[in-house]
């Protein structure tokens, strides 16, 4: 019963707040949905302690969903270590975001609707992570997409919010098209959508090919690439990343919930869940590694020059997701989930901390209009500092550090142990770590230190957030500090196989975590490389924004083309506009003006009907309604008929 309660309590809260919000009032909706989420979170931690450390897999039947021919789909909850970890992440962050939103959204007139959307999103995410088959996973997958659309566009009177919501929805549909094809393909070759059946059949599919457009294609490689296409869209990987920064148009709690800890990690979870399939498709894993490493690098370069405080954190999320996919690509799925777990705490902390700054600055988000805020909002500064230390991976090798130090550095070490071509993944991640440190400390220095650049009145009235917003920060800060060293032994330690049991497949022939530990023993510099990158980024940021604040402008002038290239996000949006948007608009205009206007309305049935109406319209104008007009017309007709017969008759007499 407790397993069902975890999943369906948020749904109950969403239904009551959504349909009966006026009856229970906004205040009642806030309290009800938040209370139900905290109950769900408490139960999730209990399940984590029971199942996560017990290594067992529990199946909880809910209902028979539907049957169509050979396709039989049941709603069943799959509870194992991987699920338990995701339950903790989703419910903990969601419950804290609910609590934070009570303070952040207190002036909004549609709070019941907002909390209904939050709870609906949480239910969809929980349905996704507890799925026991691909159809159930796809239901949750699309559910979080719908809820994210509603939350990003919550302030629907803002055109920018509507545009961002539509963009997120459309870009995710591109990835979901690939995901759906992958599901169809797996059903076609295994005759099932159940994970257990698919996992047992995967080894038998190695080496099998299919014909496609005259080419022989490896089946598993093709299907895994299609599945990864869905992960790219949901987890904002390069080329399908464009929706994530724009999604900052939604309220800040939405950013913390969706774009830091839950929805964007769905792609990582999906690859880890399907590890028994991906492990037998090494070519697909190479693609996952390449895309992840490039995304980590690309997003970090864009984050260097962003001025919106939320967009800096958003590009950081995009970059960290790249780290997770690199771990999946090299077969270190448990390391990827470990970083997902720790990242949830410190990234949600940074997003909510940014919201606290925005709240203090009366909705100002541009860091160029901040500075010197540390004395004004000392608690927020301390919380953001902890989040920054965790994100940048502050710690000492072989000793310990903040959460990101344990998980992010493990990914870098695994990337080295995998020996990708020219150690491509390793060096891309190390350089991304340097840039992450730089832009993270840039955010701290521009926001909290130096002379203020804010409007005098805004700065004067800057104030600390209420306690209802600060308590979630305290809890997340605890996770950002302690989650790394507390759980590292279970997630990636020497006994990691016992912890994960069969929820994640690690092929004995690869055993990447063993090679990772051995590589660090043989080459000590591997463990120190991310540490050096982290320190270098901090020193450079301090030099640029504290010691010599004139350097940023001078550097931007000197390297102006590169600066504009990064500032315009590598012009990917402009490229898509040229490749897809403008041709689609042109085609739509042609079909409208020429196809519909000239051909259909002009020459088609509509055109013929219009001509008939024109002709009959002229006849109608003869109908005046006066009797003498009709009598006169009749007399003319009679005269014409008489004349005809007279002349016709005369001709016959001759």
Query: Is the confidence at residue 601, as pLDDT, over 90?
Result: no
CB 268 within 8 Å of CB 334: no
Could you give the CA distance from residue 158 to residue 447 in angstroms, rounded to a whole number?
A: 26
Quick one: 587 exposed, middle or buried, by C-beta within 10 A (0-12, 13-18, 19+)?
Answer: exposed
Beta bridge partners of 401: 395
Quick one: 616 exposed, middle or buried, by C-beta within 10 A (0-12, 13-18, 19+)?
Answer: exposed
Could you give the CA distance from residue 310 to residue 364 in angstroms, rounded to a whole number?
A: 11
Nearest to 62 by CA among 127, 145, 148, 152: 127
Could you give the CA distance from residue 96 to residue 642 in angstroms, rounded to a whole number?
A: 99
CB 267 within 8 Å of CB 208: no
Query: Is the confidence at residue 40, as pLDDT, over 80?
Result: yes
CA distances from 336 to 64, 122, 331, 631 (A): 33, 22, 9, 95
Give the angle 432-250-234 at the CA atoms, nearest 5°: 50
pLDDT tens digits for range 414-439: 999 998 888 999 999 999 999 999 99
Could you give the CA distance from residue 405 to residue 382 in angstroms, rounded to a whole number?
A: 19
Alpha helices in 48-110 (DSSP H): 81-104
CB 476 within 8 Å of CB 95: no
Query: Is the confidence at residue 37, as pLDDT, over 80?
Result: yes
Query: Is the confidence at residue 606, as pLDDT, over 70?
Result: no
pLDDT tens digits for range 182-210: 999 999 999 999 999 999 999 999 988 88
- Helix (H) / strand (E) containing 395: strand 395-396
- Please tell me whether residue 76 adopts helix, strand or coil conformation: strand
CB 492 within 8 Å of CB 335: yes
- Compute φ and ψ for 363, nearest 5 degrees: 75, 20
Could you give the CA distance from residue 593 to residue 535 in angstroms, rounded to a whole number?
A: 61
Q: What is the mean pLDDT of residues 75-80?
A: 92
As a whole-number percent, the residues of the chain with pLDDT over 90 amount to 69
> Where residue 108 falls among pLDDT bands split at 50, 70, 90?
confident
* 19: number of Cβ within 10 Å: 11
8 or 633: whose pLDDT is higher?
A: 8
pLDDT tens digits for range 554-577: 999 999 999 999 999 999 999 999
Q: Both tokens of residue 296? A: 């980590």
pLDDT tens digits for range 458-494: 898 899 999 999 999 999 999 999 999 999 988 888 7
* pLDDT of res. 611: 64
* pLDDT of res. 139: 95
Query: Is the confidence at residue 163, as pLDDT, over 70?
Result: yes
Secondary structure of 132-174 in HEC code, one letter for each residue: CEHHHHHHHHHHHHHHHHHHHCCCCCCHHHHHHHHHHHHHHHH
pLDDT tens digits for range 521-537: 888 899 999 999 999 99
> Where residue 502 falls among pLDDT bands split at 50, 70, 90?
confident
- Compute φ and ψ for 493, nearest 5 degrees: -75, -175
pLDDT tens digits for range 128-138: 999 999 999 99
Could you give the CA distance from residue 648 to residue 642 in angstroms, rounded to a whole number?
A: 10
Alpha helices in 568-604 (DSSP H): 572-576, 582-590
- Please tell me whether residue 308 adopts helix, strand or coil conformation: strand
Q: What is the mean pLDDT of residues 50-59?
A: 80
642 or 262: whose pLDDT is higher?
A: 642
CB 19 within 8 Å of CB 117: no
Query: Is the confidence at residue 652, as pLDDT, over 60?
Result: no
> Where residue 503 falls among pLDDT bands split at 50, 70, 90?
confident
Quick one: 586 exposed, middle or buried, by C-beta within 10 A (0-12, 13-18, 19+)?
Answer: exposed
* pLDDT of res. 260: 64
As a whole-number percent, the residues of the chain with pLDDT over 70 amount to 95
pLDDT tens digits for range 345-368: 999 999 999 999 999 998 899 999
Nearest to 403 by CA among 320, 343, 350, 471: 343
* pLDDT of res. 538: 97
The model carries a pTM of 0.90
Contacts 24+ apart (CB under 8 A), 213-218: 218/281, 218/283
- Please tell me whether residue 209 adopts helix, strand or coil conformation: strand
Q: What is the mean pLDDT of residues 258-281?
A: 88
Residue in the block written with tokens 């540490």 = 531
Average of per-residue pLDDT values in the chain:
90
Query: Is the confidence at residue 629, as pLDDT, over 80?
Result: no
């Amino acid at each position: 019963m407790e397993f069902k309660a975890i999943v369906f309590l948020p749904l109950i809260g969403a239904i009551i707040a959504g349909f009966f919000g006026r009856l229970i009032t906004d205040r009642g909706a806030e309290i009800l949905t938040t209370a139900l989420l905290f109950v769900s979170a408490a139960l999730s931690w209990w399940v984590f302690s029971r199942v996560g450390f017990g290594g067992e897999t529990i199946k909880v039947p809910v209902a028979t969903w539907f049957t169509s021919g050979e396709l039989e789909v049941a709603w069943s909850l799959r509870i194992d270590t991987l699920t338990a970890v995701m339950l903790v992440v989703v419910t903990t962050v969601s419950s804290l975001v609910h609590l934070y939103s009570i303070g952040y959204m207190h002036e909004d007139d549609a709070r019941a609707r907002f909390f209904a959307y939050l709870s609906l999103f949480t239910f969809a995410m929980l349905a996704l992570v507890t799925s026991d088959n691909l159809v159930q996973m796809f239901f949750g997958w699309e559910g979080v997409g719908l809820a994210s659309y509603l939350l990003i566009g919550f302030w629907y009177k803002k055109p920018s919010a509507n545009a961002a919501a539509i963009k997120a929805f459309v870009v995710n549909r591109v990835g979901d098209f690939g995901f759906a094809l992958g599901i169809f393909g797996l059903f076609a070759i295994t005759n099932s959508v159940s994970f257990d059946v698919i996992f047992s059949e995967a080894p038998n599919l190695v080496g099998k090919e299919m014909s496609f457009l005259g080419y022989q294609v490896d089946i598993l490689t093709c299907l895994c690439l299609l599945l990864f296409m869905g992960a790219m869209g949901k987890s904002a990987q390069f080329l399908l990343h464009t929706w994530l920064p724009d999604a900052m148009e939604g309220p800040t709690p939405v950013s913390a919930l969706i774009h830091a800890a839950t929805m964007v990690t769905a792609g990582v979870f999906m690859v880890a869940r399907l590890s028994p399939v991906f492990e037998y498709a090494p070519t697909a894993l190479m693609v996952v590694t390449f895309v992840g490493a490039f995304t980590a690098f690309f997003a970090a370069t864009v984050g260097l020059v962003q001025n919106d405080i939320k967009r800096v954190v958003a590009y950081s999320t995009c970059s960290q997701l790249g780290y997770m996919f690199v771990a999946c690509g090299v077969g270190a799925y448990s390391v990827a989930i470990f970083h997902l777990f720790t990242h949830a705490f410190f990234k949600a902390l940074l997003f909510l901390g940014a919201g606290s700054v925005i709240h203090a600055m009366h909705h100002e988000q541009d860091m160029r209009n901040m500075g010197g805020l540390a004395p004004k909002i000392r608690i927020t500064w301390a919380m953001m500092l902890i989040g920054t230390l965790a994100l940048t991976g502050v710690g000492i090798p072989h000793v310990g550090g903040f959460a990101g130090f344990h998980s992010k550095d493990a990914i870098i070490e695994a990337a080295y142990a995998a020996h990708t071509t020219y150690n491509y993944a390793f060096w891309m991640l190390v350089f991304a770590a340097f840039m992450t440190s730089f832009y993270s400390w840039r955010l701290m220095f521009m926001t909290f230190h130096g002379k203020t650049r804010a409007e005098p009145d805004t700065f004067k009235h800057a104030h600390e957030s209420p306690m209802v917003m600060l308590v979630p920060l305290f809890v997340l800060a605890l996770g950002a500090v302690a989650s790394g060293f507390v759980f590292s032994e279970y997630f990636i330690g020497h006994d990691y196989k016992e912890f994960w049991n069969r929820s994640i497949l690690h092929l004995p022939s690869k055993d990447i975590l063993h090679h990772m530990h051995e590589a660090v023993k043989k080459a000590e510099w591997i463990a120190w490389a991310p540490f050096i990158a982290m320190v270098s980024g901090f020193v450079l940021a301090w030099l640029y924004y504290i010691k010599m604040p004139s350097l940023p402008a001078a550097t931007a002038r000197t390297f102006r083309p590169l600066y504009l290239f990064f500032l315009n996000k590598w012009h990917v949006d402009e490229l898509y506009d040229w490749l897809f948007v403008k041709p689609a608009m042109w085609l739509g205009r042609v079909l409208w003006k020429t196809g519909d206007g000239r051909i259909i309305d002009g020459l088609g049935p509509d055109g013929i009907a219009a001509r008939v109406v024109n002709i009959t319209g002229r006849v109608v104008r003869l109908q005046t309604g006066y009797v003498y007009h009709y009598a006169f017309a009749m007399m003319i007709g009679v005269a014409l008929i008489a004349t005809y017969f007279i002349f016709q008759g005369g001709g016959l007499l001759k």
